[in-house]
Amino acid sequence: MELINHRPSKSGGSDTTAPQGAEAAEMDAAPVSDGDKKRVFIKTYGCQMNVYDSERMRDLLGPLGYAPSDTPEGSDLVILNTCHIREKAAEKVYSELGRLRPLKEAKEAEGSSMTITVAGCVAQAEGAEIKRRAPVVDLVVGPQTYHKLPELIAEVHRGTGQSLDTEFEVEDKFDVLATPERQIDGYSAFVTVQEGCDKFCTFCVVPYTRGAEWSRPVDQIVAEVRALAAKGIREITLLGQNVNAYHGDAPSGDEASGTWGLGRLVRHLALIGGIDRIRFTTSHPRDMDEELIQTFADEPKLMPYFHLPVQAGSDRILKSMNRKHTAEEYIAIIDRLREVRPDIAISGDMIVGFPGESDEDFEATMELVRRVNYASCFSFKYSRRPGTPGAAMAGQVDEKVSSERLARLQALLAEQQEAFNQSMIGKTLPVLFEREGRNEGQLNGRSPYLQAVHCDAPLELIGQIVNVEITGASKNALAGRLVPEETRAA
């Protein structure tokens, strides 16, 4: 068994991500001493792409002397990396800004300052409106321009220049991000490979907040993954709003191929030493191709877990959502995946209460869920988003009806998830241990199916993939015991 040092993963003050570990360097090209070290608090909302973006902001700011902080109190820079997907997500930002105001005033009373930045999808969607509604905000930066944060912050400090940048410059962004070294946290890392969406589902803001579909070139992704592997990362999750629409420029030496699809990219990344597990999210049924399906069959490093949102089970609603696929087409993809990889865990996203959804339409969703039998599935009540076609549609569903439907759907999904977890009892699964567990002597990790697993195990197994016999299961986690060392996986 290979032993590597236990690198504890810190949990931050943010919803989903943990800013940490920046090095002191310089700000505005002026050297800073330890005493001048500034603190940045980054709070992340929304999807994994935002988690990745927050990490990259932390990487950009580290060399400028910003050390990550777990709390906004006393921070010199606060970044809210926001999500616009549902009304509640967007509104959270304004309540957080309200909480930040007295903290900023306290900093100013001390003769210092707190620069408040709104980044992410609310920044993109609302732009200058944010500063009007919340004057406490100094800077608004969109998801495709955060690579310019160092210069934008310097401009705010000088009291010059613009304090709003929400252009779409995705190519430029990744060129800039290629240089700052990634600081890592744990043994699993996100790597954005694709951004944006051209699908325009009628309920969704993403095409407006993230812009058109764009794929990073293979060479750039390989360089990032190699660097992560060199730092001890063992699992990567490739991210994209439509990750299976990936079509990045082929690597140097293979220009004749033009662009590569996701299946080919996954197989290529699997050759990188040290990377033992690959996952990707989120896919769209319309972008499924046979090569990707085959990759699940014959690339052992691609984990048998697949997130494929469908949103609804009624063809009438799917059409009105502009999903451009039917329920049967979705089921056919799932059947084909199970044919090539029988143990694959299927996950999805569902929306209830989309305009015009009748009881019968909702029953079609329940029926689809029964047929798919999900290992896990996210489900949401439709949220009317200004500017999307859905917001103007007739037949908006009563809140009470939506709530009842959501409760029924979630009960069914919970049953399926628990049954899936229960089916693991007695099996031996390779678990990547990531951190200490809640109880003394316990470690937490993930199964190939992305289930949380806890198990009594020594600290030095953190960062290792170890065989665990599953002895218990609940809706949200598995419990297990280490199998004797001589039978453990490498």
In the complex with ligand SAH, which residue's Cβ is closer, 109 or 394?
394
Which residue(s) pair with 464 in the sheet? none
Cα-atom radius of gyration of the chain, to the nearest Å? 23
* 389 half-sphere exposure, CB direction, 13 A CA radius: 9
Find tokens 């990759």 and name the residue: 295
Lay out the site mask for ligand SF4 across 273-312 (x = CB under 6 A, - = otherwise). -----------x----------------------------
In the complex with ligand SF4, which residue's Cβ is closer, 200 or 386?
200
Q: Judged by CB under 6 A, which of 172, 249, 254, 349 binds ligand SAH?
A: 349
User: Interface with ligand F3S includes 323 (CB under 6 A)?
Assistant: no
Length of the chain: 490
- Among residues 239, 241, 224, the alpha carbon closest in space to that of 275 is found at 224
Lay out the site mask for ligand F3S across 195-234 (x = CB under 6 A, - = otherwise). ----------xx--xx------------------------
The rounded distance, in Å, linking the Cα atoms of 221 and 192 is: 8
Which of ligand SF4, ligand SAH, ligand F3S, none sits in contact with 117, Cβ below 5 to 8 A by type? none
The rounded distance, in Å, linking the Cα atoms of 12 and 71 is: 8
The rounded distance, in Å, linking the Cα atoms of 475 and 308 is: 20
User: Interface with ligand SAH includes 317 (CB under 6 A)?
Assistant: no
In the complex with ligand SAH, which residue's Cβ is closer, 80 or 205?
205
Close Cβ partners of 276 (under 8 Å, ≥ 6 residues apart): 234, 235, 301, 432, 465
Close Cβ partners of 339 (under 8 Å, ≥ 6 residues apart): none
The rounded distance, in Å, linking the Cα atoms of 29 and 35 is: 17
Within 159-253, residue ranges assigned H as helices are 170-177, 206-210, 218-230
In the complex with ligand F3S, which residue's Cβ is closer, 194 or 451?
194
Given the rule CB under 6 A, which of 2-10, 28-36, 44-52, 244-252 is the region that contacts ligand F3S? 44-52
CB of 410 to ligand SAH, least distance (A): 13
User: Interface with ligand SAH includes 242 (CB under 6 A)?
Assistant: yes
Measured from the Cβ of residue 348, the count of other Cβ atoms closer than 10 Å reads 23
**DSSP state letter for 211:** -
Lay out the site mask for ligand SF4 across 197-216 (x = CB under 6 A, - = otherwise). x-xxx--x-xx---------
Which residues of the shown chain bind ligand F3S in the complex (CB under 6 A)? 46-47, 49-50, 83-85, 120-121, 205-206, 209-210, 241
Which residues of the shown chain bind ligand SAH in the complex (CB under 6 A)? 85-86, 203-204, 206, 241-242, 282, 284, 309, 311, 349, 351, 380, 382-383, 385
Which residues of the shown chain bind ligand SF4 in the complex (CB under 6 A)? 197, 199-201, 204, 206-207, 241-242, 284
